[in-house]
Chain A
């Protein structure tokens, strides 16, 4: 990817900002539609915003994904969250992004579904570790199997649209 020329940089900034907007919309959707009634897992979220982060990685690079992801965590915490939820989702986002960056770097034979699955699992495990450390409660780790199972479902759900959009847009199209 050429980042040298400034019009390209500006386009990329605009695209990242648009994706951040999309990520925040998805975060908002999750905040106003509580899953608690259907899924008996406290704190479990579909991670719909992961979709926008993956799209940033798909269209641009892992660096753009980092910008979208961390900005989303910060703004979503200000809009819908608390200090605790910020710490939890930041640690999840860091681990998820680390997984994403490694996958973008080494490109194993998988599609965005596999990437999404690994990011969702990394996000959940990051959050859980943070919660266990925060509360000094190792027993929380027994919650891991349920969260991994949930990540398997939500990761597939967010990975499929990334595959579809990637196929529709083709190689060269840019979002902005």
Chain B
């Protein structure tokens, strides 16, 4: 027999196709489960608050007489509004990577992103 691989579809083809689709599904589910959404750490002189980064939400923080609105959206966190003078925290924009931070000096507020896994950036410059 010169060659054994058929040129008509056989049961093995369907089995291979099924196995590939099953492997894709299983790997996908594993990847979903292993996702660490990360945590937002909001630090003020009055204490530290942690909220999940993978759940959208808006938080109001009062610190040293200033009121800030912290918004978590699409896996990123930003200061949506602040009544401080310089607005540096608002202009900092959104952060999402582990180790990044937003600081509001007048309110002495520091927001950082914490994540279990290693960061995907080479360095994060403070």
Contacts and interface: CB of A to CB of B under 8 A. Distances in A.
Contact of A148 (B6, B23, B120): B23
Contacts of A1: 2
B125 interface: no
Interface stretch (A7-15, A70-78, A103-111): A103-111
Given A144-B27, A145-B28, A110 B6 contact: yes
Interface in B52-77: none
B13 A110 contact: yes
* A contact patch SS: helix
Nearest to B20: A152
Interface residues of B, number: 24
Interface in A152-171: 152, 155-156, 159, 162-164, 166-167, 171
A91 B17 CA distance: 23
Interface residues of A, number: 35
B31 A163 contact: no
Contacts of B3: 58, 104, 107
Interface of A: 1, 58, 103-104, 107-115, 117-118, 121, 137, 139, 142, 144-146, 148-149, 151-152, 155-156, 159, 162-164, 166-167, 171
10 contacts: A110-B16, A111-B6, A111-B7, A111-B10, A112-B5, A113-B9, A146-B24, A148-B23, A152-B17, A159-B13
